[in-house]
Structure 1
Amino acid sequence: MEPGPLEHGPLEHGPLERGPGGSAPKPRKRRSFWAELPILVGIALVLALLIKTFLVQAFSIPSESMQNTLQKGDRVLVDKLTPWFGSEPERGEVVVFHDPDRWLKTVPTHEPTAAQTFLGWIGLMPSVEEKDLIKRVIGVGGDTVECTGTGPLKVNGQALDEPYVYEGNTPCTDDEGGRFKVRVPRGYIWVMGDHRQASSDSRYNQSDRYHGMVPVGEVVGRAIVKAWPVTRWDTLPVPDTFDGAGLDR
């Protein structure tokens, strides 16, 4: 009786091909590592680009305006996924946002190298071409934020205890930009740097078309981790300052 298909036993050598003249079959050759390398590199680049676009992106801190929370030259990782699900910035978060209306007009632009441009494009390095800023969210839509004299800073009439403010700084500055009382419209945020005497933030841009506010649509995401240098690795949680129920109206 002829054996059925399963009685021949399992194949041991994978797909076979006939040799010349119908000789015994021989195993098919696998691709070499060098032949597969371009495919692997292409997959890695696509994954890196997707991560940068939808998940996490690195940003470099360009100034001292967020000291001592962040130092100039630090690199942070920014969560870009949460806003895709409709989440808006909350008080106390450190956020990266696009320049709303020429806040960086006096900051010189450096010509990037080809390597910087490529690595920035795929998200492995901060982009040197993007005009982005990083500040702390103080007020959200519906809030009233005010400063008189040197402080304290108040949100909805409640004075804030701000341990993150740079040592030696006052919460407010007693000058034209530092004295204000504003109501934040829906869909906007009011931001300030932790180094209050060295931050050109919402206070000093009230003459722009948004009156110093940042449209929520310009927010890239929330900075969640200090990733570099490794000696300063740390998370960036929302301070207890903003846990008080008295801030809400």
Structure 2
Amino acid sequence: MNNTSSIELNNFWSWEAFYPLTEDRRTEIKSRYLALSPVMRSVAGQIAVQRHLEENNHPSMVRFIESLDYDSKDTTQLKYPNFWYKLFAGRAMTQSNTIDLFFDGVNYPTANILKHPLWSLIDHRVTIESSLKQFAIQYGGKLFRKLFSWHCLDEIPLSALKQSYPSQRQTQFEARSLDSLNALLFITLNQIRECKHLRPTTAEQYAYALFLFLFGYKYRTLKMLDMGIMLNELLTPSSSSGDSIKRQLT
């Protein structure tokens, strides 16, 4: 039986009306998601499902799967519930048709989490400058000195960021979101690489604390330790001290 409330349905269909998951959007999200490492694909999928449950008032995975109204008599749909449980537990999606199944069960904001610029930054499979351009498109010009100067570029240099102030860094930390962690990491990289601040910088301390809050407390994350090592490597490219970050995160 479908237990979806009218509020949940209205929320879902309002997004479908204004931000439908068109073929172009699906293709872009798939491309960005599949370019990630298995670790980051695991994290992105796991976070996306948890955010979807929270923001669409599904009290459990059981209720969410019931809301999808799969036909138990249709043999092609028998494996669908198991797909969602595995994704929730941290299984990374690897095939295009599997991602289509995910798209069919969620709305645009949830699907868009799969290509959040935070994943590509920590994954460092693209340049920091390319990741900063992705972030600028999604986040806007709040952190940038003259965003219009960089609109036509594929990459944005760290030097485009505004000077960071203590109140700004604290505000980002208190926002406790994926976007604010993304912002703090760029501020940290700018402080380390462009401004040559001594480590740990204040932004770096905020970033590590927020990382632990988000992926150690707010969200259930199977690959948190692996992600923490990747984060450490991003901020300290010359360091191979994986054991050090493991001790901090365990």
TM-score band w.r.t. shorter chain: under 0.3
Normalised by the size of structure 1, how large is the TM-score? 0.26
Larger of the two Rg values belongs to structure: 1
Provide TM-score, normalisation by structure 2: 0.26
